[in-house]
């Protein structure tokens, strides 16, 4: 029951994010859909992922989008028409992709055998797994993020030097 | 006697729940705890407003408010009546829905932070496994609320104030979280209840609080500075500085919505101080081993009041920081210190108990502090001003 | 030397202020206004008042309606109408008096120029400042009766200035009498001695 409510909230937020003309309203609707997704994670017992979803998506990604909007556009924030001219072809493609995904998920082993919700993983287990089994991917992602950070700073410094 | 006074509210809650049919017990217990949190912290907010004004007044050689009740203590009542009866002015060009929702979101996020703070022994609303993570996740929602407030007012000052506030809050979140991570490393868990329990022992009469270790002390100082910055309080109150930018992101709010912003800010301040107490100051534990007969919630609120007094003291002493000074401080000083603090905590955990680890960790904290502060001071030369268009 | 030293000094200073404000009076210099007031210094000036000698404010008023203060007042807040008849002033000489003397104290800027230019020591600055009124159509427009205050009042509020003013007036009176005595004696020389006796007796009791 709760899942239905949060699922509707997530989808409604996503649809609103697509269809609002005012960009900042669209971002706020996107935040609502992020929050709905986090609630779904929490319902599944995945505390870490749910809270990290809020911390990262709402607290960082949404703010990044907001800064990007505000620093690059002037006061006329409304965009043009929200429907594109080729919407018939797009609907066909979307329905096709959704059909393929739904079929593959529905026929997968996990879906057909799932009877009850698995026990939520505790933080200790996540920590252990991250540090032992998935230590290499963790380090690689860390290096990737560091590279991105250094790249952003380099670009910004170049611009600063150019305007001097 | 000590045991029953300590668990007084817990037993009260159990008795209340026992009068309710079985299925609704959990809901009633949660509702009662929520009502208790709202009542207690909202009245703490009321008392803090008047104590802050009186404290600042005494620091500034004047009386604070002293007309309304005995010693002015009923002043919050007068303030509340005033803010409820003022006209709610919404600018014509403002975005009505977002303008209305911003203070609500702020207050909801601020009050949700209390769910993971253990106010006394067995007195926490939700013993989440990832309590500290929950705290930081919800406090990042407060930044969205501030942006909404600033943007929806369609006012240059509000927008500028909101941008500054968000930049400041996300910059200071990094040292805040890193300082908390050191505690999580030392305690081995993200749950606030188990962090408090790790600090509950006594060696002789001295407690095992994390603040009494070298890395804990450095972490506590970093945490407190970042907490003052997170709640936009002096000396970090450039986003809402009255002489700078009218009132920043809540310029266009009047009446009760303004009161809600005020409330949300102070509640956020109490929550972050509460987290600081939980992480570093031992939560509800008594400071000396022979004082444990005083109930645990009394100690929590005593520590909270001490921290609030410290914040008021800081507000009365330090001038406001400029935006670039603020950012420099966060990224050039606090972030390196927080990272070094992480290393120090690791070293602390891996050396055995004894004088060696105190010595090594103290050196690891003090030497970088002195070196970094000296090199930063040297680096702040005054440059000759260069004009882009005038030459 | 180290980062944080200046901060520590600042914290100590405010803590000293906070605790000192409970212990000593010079750390807490606030006065609870409507119940107590700070003492005013002697040279305080707020709004003008007209000085009168003796008990009757109309007979003893020093102002002769010369209108110098009206002309010198920078915001032109004084309005004077001279009388048609004369009345004897403090030294007995027949002088005009102001039939209407209004000062609009909402305009007056307390510059004291009217006091400086008055040749008769008739207008001085008062020290009263709690003058709010809710009569917005005339409450701050003061007439002759409201503005007149006695010389005792002047001596009370500005002792040194009142002493100087009294000395000046006494000196002028002595000069006037010194001039009047030879003139009276010259007149006595030309008239019979009986009239001179009565005249000099009358002038000496003045």
What pLDDT is stored for residue C206 in this prediction?
A: 42
What pLDDT is stored for residue A11 in this prediction?
A: 94
pLDDT, greater one: B270 or C6: B270
pLDDT, greater one: B1 or B279: B279
**CA distance linking residue A25 with residue B125, whole number of Å:** 34
**Would you call B144 an interface residue with chain A, using a CB distance cutoff of 8 Å?**
yes
Give chain B positions within 8 Å (CB) of C11: 313, 317
In this structure, are residues B185 and B237 in contact, taking their beta carbons and an 8 Å threshold?
no
Residue B357 lies in domain: 88-379
Q: Average pLDDT, stretch C74-102?
A: 85
Show the tokens assigned to B129: 């496994």
pTM, entire model: 0.83
Predicted confidence (pLDDT) per residue in B83-101, tens digit = 889 888 888 888 888 888 9
What pLDDT is stored for residue B110 in this prediction?
A: 93
Q: At B279, is the pLDDT very low, low, confident or very high (cuts 50, 70, 90)?
A: very high
B97–chain A nearest CA distance, Å: 10
Q: At A98, is the pLDDT very low, low, confident or very high (cuts 50, 70, 90)?
A: very high
Q: For the CA atoms of chain C, what is the radius of gyration?
A: 26
pLDDT at C117 over 70: yes
A135: Cα within 13 Å, side-chain hemisphere:
4
Show the tokens assigned to C125: 């600055």
Question: Most C CBs within 10 Å: which of B234, B317, B319, B365, as the mutation test of the C interface?
Answer: B317
Task: Kindly give, in sequence order, each residue whose CB lies less than 8 Å from that of residue C40, ignoring residues fewer than 6 positions away.
Answer: C127
Domain total of chain B? 1
**Would you call C24 an interface residue with chain B, using a CB distance cutoff of 8 Å?**
no
Give chain C positions within 8 Å (CB) of B374: 2-3
**φ and ψ of C97, to 5 deg:** -145, 160
Predicted confidence (pLDDT) per residue in B156-210, tens digit = 777 878 888 888 999 999 999 999 999 999 988 889 999 998 888 887 777 888 8
**Would you call B316 an interface residue with chain C, using a CB distance cutoff of 8 Å?**
yes
The answer to whether chain A touches chain B by having 3 or more C-beta pairs less than 8 angstroms apart is: yes
Predicted confidence (pLDDT) per residue in B248-264, tens digit = 777 777 888 888 988 99
pLDDT at B292 over 90: no
Nearest CA-CA partner of B78 in B53, B106, B55: B53
Q: At B12, is the pLDDT very low, low, confident or very high (cuts 50, 70, 90)?
A: confident
What pLDDT is stored for residue C71 in this prediction?
A: 93
Cα three-residue angle A138-A142-A144, rounded to 5 degrees: 115
pLDDT at C199 over 50: no
CATH class of A1-78: mainly alpha
Q: Which of B59, B370, B377 sits opposite C18 (nearest CB)?
A: B59
**CA distance linking residue C121 with residue C64, whole number of Å:** 10
pLDDT, greater one: B25 or A160: B25
Q: What is the mean pLDDT of chain C?
A: 83
pLDDT at C203 over 70: no
The SS3 call for residue C95 is strand
- C-alpha pair distances (Å), A70 with each of A44, B159, B168: 36, 9, 17
Bridge partners (DSSP) listed for residue B136:
none
Lowest mean pLDDT among B5-9, B381-385, C198-202: C198-202
Domain membership flag for residue B37: no
pLDDT at A81 over 70: no
Lowest mean pLDDT among A152-161, B51-60, C63-72: A152-161
Q: What is the mean pLDDT of chain B?
A: 86
What one-character DSSP code corresponds to residue A121? P
pLDDT at B339 over 80: yes
Task: State whether C28 and B63 contact (CB < 8 Å).
Answer: yes
pLDDT, greater one: C2 or B127: B127
pLDDT at B146 over 50: yes
**CA distance linking residue C128 with residue C46, whole number of Å:** 6
Task: State whether A55 and B144 contact (CB < 8 Å).
Answer: no
Q: Which residues of C140-158 are buried (b: 16+ CB within 10 A; e: fewer)?
A: bbbebeebbbbbebbeebb
What pLDDT is stored for residue C192 in this prediction?
A: 54
In this structure, are residues C73 and C113 in contact, taking their beta carbons and an 8 Å threshold?
yes
Q: Average pLDDT, stretch C173-201?
A: 68
In this structure, are residues B276 and B136 in contact, taking their beta carbons and an 8 Å threshold?
no
**In chain C, where the domains are located:** 48-164
Q: Which of B129, B143, B189 sits opposite A59 (nearest CB)?
A: B143
Domain membership flag for residue B1: no
Q: Average pLDDT, stretch B131-144?
A: 91
Residues 277-306 of B with CB under 8 A from C: none
**φ and ψ of C133, to 5 deg:** -140, 160
**Would you call B388 an interface residue with chain A, using a CB distance cutoff of 8 Å?**
yes
Q: Which residues of B165-194 are buried (b: 16+ CB within 10 A; e: fewer)?
A: bbbbbbbbbbbbbbbbbbbbebbebbbbbe
Pick the CATH number of C48-164 from 3.30.70.3270, 1.10.10.60, 3.20.20.370, 3.90.550.10: 3.30.70.3270
Q: For the CA atoms of chain A, what is the radius of gyration?
A: 21
pLDDT at B155 over 90: no
The SS3 call for residue C49 is strand
pLDDT at A10 over 50: yes
pLDDT, greater one: C187 or C31: C31
Q: Average pLDDT, stretch B222-248?
A: 78
In this structure, are residues C125 and C48 in contact, taking their beta carbons and an 8 Å threshold?
yes
Residues 157-216 of B with CB under 8 A from A: 159, 163, 166, 170, 173, 189-191
pLDDT at B338 over 90: yes
pLDDT at C201 over 60: no
ipTM above 0.85, yes or no: no
In this structure, are residues B256 and B195 in contact, taking their beta carbons and an 8 Å threshold?
no
Q: Which of C3, C14, C28 sits opposite B373 (nearest CB)?
A: C3
Task: Kindly give, in sequence order, each residue whose CB lies less than 8 Å from that of residue C25, ignoring residues fewer than 6 positions away.
Answer: none
State chain B's maximal CA–CA distance in angstroms.
Answer: 82
In this structure, are residues B285 and B296 in contact, taking their beta carbons and an 8 Å threshold?
yes
Q: At A116, is the pLDDT very low, low, confident or very high (cuts 50, 70, 90)?
A: low
Q: Average pLDDT, stretch B32-59?
A: 91
Show the tokens assigned to C160: 């040194």
**CA distance linking residue B281 with residue B219, whole number of Å:** 11
In this structure, are residues B41 and B68 in contact, taking their beta carbons and an 8 Å threshold?
no
What DSSP letter does each residue of C119-172 carry, written as one string? TTS-EEE--------S-TTTTTEE-HHHHEEEHHHHHHH-HHHHHHHHHHHHHH
C5–chain B nearest CA distance, Å: 11
**Would you call B380 an interface residue with chain C, using a CB distance cutoff of 8 Å?**
no
pLDDT at A126 over 70: yes
Show the tokens assigned to B255: 């009446």
CB neighbourhood size of C11 (10 A):
17
What pLDDT is stored for residue B258 in this prediction?
A: 87
Predicted confidence (pLDDT) per residue in A48-57, tens digit = 889 999 999 9
Q: Average pLDDT, stretch B72-85?
A: 89
């Amino acid at each position: 029951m709760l899942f239905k409510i949060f699922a509707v909230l997530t989808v409604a937020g996503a649809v609103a994010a697509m269809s609002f003309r005012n960009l900042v309203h669209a971002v706020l609707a996107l935040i609502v859909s992020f929050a709905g997704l986090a609630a779904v994670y929490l319902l599944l017992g995945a505390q870490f992922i749910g809270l990290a979803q809020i911390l990262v998506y709402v607290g960082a990604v949404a703010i990044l989008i907001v800064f990007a909007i505000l620093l690059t556009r002037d006061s006329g924030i409304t965009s043009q028409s929200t429907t594109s001219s080729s919407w018939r072809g797009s609907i066909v493609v979307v329905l096709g992709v959704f059909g393929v995904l739904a079929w593959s998920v529905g026929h997968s082993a996990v879906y057909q055998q799932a009877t009850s919700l698995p026990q939520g993983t505790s933080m200790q287990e996540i920590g252990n797994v991250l540090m032992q089994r998935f230590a290499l991917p963790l380090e690689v992602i860390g290096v990737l993020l560091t590279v991105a950070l250094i790249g952003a700073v380099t670009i910004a410094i170049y611009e600063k030097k150019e305007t001097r | 006697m000590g045991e029953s006074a300590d668990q007084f509210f817990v037993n009260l809650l159990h008795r209340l729940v026992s009068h309710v049919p079985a299925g609704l017990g959990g809901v009633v217990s949660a509702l009662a705890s929520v009502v208790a949190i709202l009542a207690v912290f909202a009245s703490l907010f009321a008392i803090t407003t008047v104590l802050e004004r009186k404290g600042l007044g005494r620091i500034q050689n004047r009386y604070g408010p002293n007309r309304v009740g005995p010693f002015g203590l009923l002043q919050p009542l007068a303030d509340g009546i005033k803010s409820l009866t003022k006209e709610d002015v919404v600018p014509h060009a403002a975005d009505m829905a977002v303008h209305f929702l911003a203070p609500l979101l702020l207050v909801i996020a601020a009050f949700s932070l209390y769910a993971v703070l253990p106010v006394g022994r067995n007195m926490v609303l939700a013993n989440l496994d990832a309590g500290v993570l929950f705290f930081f996740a919800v406090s990042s929602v407060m930044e969205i609320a501030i942006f909404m407030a600033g943007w929806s007012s369609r006012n240059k000052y509000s927008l500028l104030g909101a941008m500054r506030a968000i930049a400041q809050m996300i910059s200071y979140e990094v040292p805040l979280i890193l300082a908390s991570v050191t505690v999580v490393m030392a305690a081995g868990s993200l749950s606030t209840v188990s962090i408090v329990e790790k600090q509950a022992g006594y060696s002789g009469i001295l407690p095992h609080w994390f603040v009494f270790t070298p890395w804990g002390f450095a972490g506590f100082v970093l945490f407190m500075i970042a907490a003052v910055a997170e709640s936009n309080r002096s000396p970090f109150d450039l986003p809402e500085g009255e002489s700078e930018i009218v009132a920043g992101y809540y310029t266009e709010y009047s009446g009760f919505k303004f009161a809600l912003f005020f409330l949300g800010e102070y509640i956020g301040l109490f929550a972050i101080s509460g987290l600081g107490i939980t992480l570093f100051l031992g939560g509800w534990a008594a400071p000396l081993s022979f004082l444990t007969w005083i109930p645990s919630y009394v100690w929590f609120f005593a520590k909270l009041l001490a921290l609030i007094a410290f914040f008021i003291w800081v507000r009365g002493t330090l001038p406001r920081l400029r935006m670039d000074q603020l950012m420099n401080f966060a990224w050039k000083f606090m972030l390196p210190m927080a990272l070094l603090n992480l290393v120090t905590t690791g070293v602390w955990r891996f050396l055995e108990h004894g004088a060696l680890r105190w010595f090594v960790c103290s050196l690891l904290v003090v030497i970088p502090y002195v070196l970094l502060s000296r090199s930063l001071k040297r680096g702040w030369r005054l440059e000759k001003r260069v004009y882009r268009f005038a030459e | 030397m180290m980062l944080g030293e200046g901060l520590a000094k600042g914290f100590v200073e405010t803590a000293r202020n906070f605790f000192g404000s409970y212990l000593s009076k010079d750390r807490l210099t606030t006065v609870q206004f409507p119940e107590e007031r700070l003492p005013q210094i002697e040279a305080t000036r707020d709004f003008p008042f007209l000085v009168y000698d003796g008990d009757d404010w109309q007979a003893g008023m020093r102002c002769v309606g010369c209108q110098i203060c009206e002309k010198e007042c920078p915001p032109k807040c004084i309005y004077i109408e001279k009388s048609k008849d004369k009345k004897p002033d403090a030294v007995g000489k027949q002088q005009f008096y102001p039939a209407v003397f209004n000062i609009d104290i909402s305009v007056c800027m307390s510059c004291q120029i009217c006091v400086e230019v008055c040749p008769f020591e008739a207008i001085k600055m008062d020290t009263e400042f709690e003058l709010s009124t809710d009569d917005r159509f005339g409450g701050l427009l003061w007439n002759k009766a409201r503005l007149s205050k006695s010389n005792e009042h002047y001596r009370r509020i500005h002792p040194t200035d009142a002493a100087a003013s009294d000395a000046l007036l006494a000196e002028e009176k002595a000069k006037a009498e010194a001039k009047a005595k030879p003139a009276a004696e010259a007149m006595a020389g030309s008239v019979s001695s009986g009239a001179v006796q009565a005249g000099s007796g009358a002038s000496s009791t003045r």
